[in-house]
Amino acid sequence: MGKGRINYRRIKESELSVSLFADFDRYQEVNRCWRKEDGEWVLKDIVFNEQWSDSDYRYLTECLIRTIQTGGVVFGAFVEERLKGFASVEHEFFGQEKQYLELTSIHTSYDCRNRGIGRQLFTRCVEAARKMGAKKLYISAHSCEETQAFYKEMGCVEAVEYNQKSVEKEPCDCQLEFVL
């Protein structure tokens, strides 16, 4: 599974249910994470495995439905009609000049990583945020080494302004931005 042609499209609210994620594997082995210490970013040995549970998928489904209901967008990457990647952008502006929209999720199934799915989804999110009138895309991103390498490769940098809600929700995340 996972070697067929990849089709990208917007996901409709009516499609969003836990069953949409039946063939999606959110597994990740984490060995090192970035932490800010005394104003400097340091790569630390922090080892754990991340695997989403059924309740995580239920919560995710509720969040993505809310994203669409409030004017945001959700994109999917499908292989053989099975969801193998997804990303979402909210439609709530924030920042001193209301210049940010937030990319709240971008994930690729474990069995389909390193095929460019994340890059394609990120590009679609950038285009959507531009169309919605944002000047910057905000990302509260997992601090693990691989995730941060992906965002750096995409051209993201540390956010000029931090979204306090995001920091409080995930204090170990790296707060990033992408200038549109």
pLDDT at 4: 80
pLDDT at 51: 93
- In the chain (180 residues long), the average pLDDT of successive 10-residue segments reads 83 97 95 94 94 95 98 97 97 97 97 96 98 98 96 97 95 96
Task: Report pTM.
Answer: 0.94
* Structure-block tokens of residue 143: 């601090």
Rounded-to-integer distance, Cα 157 and Cα 136, Å: 11
pLDDT at 3: 72
* Structure-block tokens of residue 6: 């990849």
Contact 135, 177 (CB under 8 A): no
pLDDT at 145: 96
pLDDT at 95: 97
Q: Classify burial at 55, counting beta carbons within 10 Å of its beta carbon; exposed 0-12, middle 13-18, buried 19 or more.
A: exposed
The half-sphere exposure of 116 on its side-chain side, counting CA atoms within 13 A, is 7
pLDDT at 48: 93
Contact 103, 130 (CB under 8 A): no
